[in-house]
Chains A and B, each alone.
Chain A
Amino acid sequence: MRNAFAEELTRLASEEPRLVLLSGDIGNKLFDKFKAAHPSKFYNCGVAEQGMTGVAAGLALSGLKPITYTITPFVTTRCLEQIRVDICYHHLPVVIVGVGAGLSYASLGGTHHACEDIAFLRALPGMAVVCPADPVEVRLALRAALRWNGPVYLRMGKKGEPVVHAREPRFTIGKAIRVKAGRGVCLLAAGTVLPLALEVARKLAAKKMEAEVVSFHTVKPLDEVFLRRAFKEFKRVATIEEHSVIGGLGGAVAEWLADHPGSRAHLLRFGTADRFLHEAGEQEHARRRYGLTAEHIAARILKV
């Protein structure tokens, strides 16, 4: 994902002269091509995310389109007040890019896990929250974010995520993308768990339940048209995300559902539990510890 991001950014900087990339001392070699092509558009702001976010606001206030980039907890939570006051209060077109969202960097320990960031940023007035599912969506989301009139948070994985979309889908912030049709259950996946949702669908198919699989990449603003249809047509809707069940996509959909009673579908939320992980292990291991496996998710859906 991060390679797709760097490549697309290098290309877009030629089309959008106002683009400026700020990095929180990360992306060693990743941005070499960008720097070579656009030397006056790259700034390493050091291990200083509050400063970087304030600088981004100042750049936006002087008419530019800055992007802040570093590991997810540091570009979101460390500088949350700067995002709130400097960027959102002024409603500035800054794109905040978190690399290694969710459990991407599970092996680096709890400091590097990001399972609360959607909740924090989603609560900020005017902030759009977009979780691209694969490298194709990263490119499309970045393009859309740079055209968006206001702040956008792009929540990315790391590298090596599989390509899900064989062809470029139509991508609009706030519009879900249906990846697979089915009638038994609607699986809404936010971010890099989309391949997991497809695996869940395969497990369910083996049990004679056809799942619709959706890249629900935008957690804010919610695709309410899609939700209205899904909760009307399906008996079961499940959200899947590498984020806490508190305040992420599941939380957002549950809030929406509370405001739309009388829906037919039963909502199931799959995400990380309300506890830290205190052990070593890669992303797949961490997902297992939180029950984010196709077996577990499929089994729970079949029980409803």
Chain B
Amino acid sequence: MTELGRIARELRGKIVELSHKAQTPHLASALSCVDILVAAYWGGSLDLRPEKAEDPSRDRLVFSKGHAATALYSCLAARDFFPRALLDTFAKPGSRLAEQPSPGCVPGMEVATGSLGHGLPIGVGMALGARIQGISNRVCVVMSDGECEEGSSWEAAMFAAAQGLKAVTAIIDYNKWQATGRSPEIMALDPLAAKWSAFGWNAVEVDGHDIVALASALGHAAAADRPTAIVAHTVKGKGVSFMEDDNNWHYRSPTAEELARARKELGLV
């Protein structure tokens, strides 16, 4: 097992545990983007470190699919942006860690999201702000496929291309499910990469569970002459066999027995 693969398994275990303990939904949405986040936080291309959390010239990761916050919370805790003990307060009354992140709830949480279609415009604004101030950093926006249905996402896509904001990289967690059905059937999302190309972006498609391929795509994006969209083909609920590609896990949270089975499958016991 590679080191990055081990990190991803541990994160998935934590995410399933958080969903079980707090009985919160969106578990499968969180599991599908774990490898994307591992590539972003551990892959070496982006500089996302707690020591730089307040540095104006830092690279920024905007997590636009706020409903999958347990994935980002687990990542940030594992990268020591905040104490791991805080993670166990998730969704408890009064906790800083709500089901969907609030502004500045923990270091590393660049933007409070939850309503879809907000992350990309904000990320594009951050990249424009950096350029105005002569800062050369990168802004990575992790999006769901469902929020590619929001007009605001495409407004930002057109503006970023017009402005040549090559510092922006959008990673789309294309797990082909949204809340109540298959995303490419509910809306004509396909061909998704071609849409981004048509909007003036450098669009690439990768296996969204191949951390090395994701990290490599992030590396190549840094050299692109325009903003990059990485369409990451993923499986909703990835990593736990009985959750994979089963959209009931958009809303369901696991029982103690299901948590134990998941942990066993992930090689954590």
Contact = CB atoms under 8 A, between A and B. Distances in A.
Interface of A: 20, 40-41, 43, 45-46, 48, 50-64, 66, 81-82, 85-86, 89-91
A86 B163 contact: no
B80 interface: no
B111 A61 contact: yes
B103 A63 contact: no
A66 B133 CA distance: 13
B170 to A, nearest CB: 13
A29 B145 CA distance: 40
B209 to A, nearest CB: 29
Given A58-B122, A58-B124, A63-B129, A85 B115 contact: yes
B122 A54 contact: yes
Given A61-B129, A62-B129, A55 B112 contact: no
Interface stretch (B5-13, B151-159, B250-258): B151-159
12 contacts: A46-B155, A46-B162, A54-B120, A55-B122, A57-B111, A58-B121, A58-B124, A58-B125, A82-B118, A82-B121, A86-B121, A90-B112
Contacts of A60: 125, 129
Interface string B87-122: 000000000000000110000001110110110111
B187 interface: no
The CB with the most chain A CB atoms within 10 A, among B126, B129, B156, is that of B129
A113 to B, nearest CB: 23
A54 B125 contact: yes
B132 A40 contact: yes
B48 interface: no
B127 interface: yes
Nearest to B122: A58
B121 A53 contact: yes
A64 B128 CA distance: 10
A61 B121 contact: no
The CB with the most chain A CB atoms within 10 A, among B56, B125, B127, is that of B125
The CB with the most chain B CB atoms within 10 A, among A56, A58, A89, is that of A58
Contacts of B25: none
Nearest to A64: B129
B123 interface: yes
B98 to A, nearest CB: 12
Contact of A59 (B110, B128, B159): B128
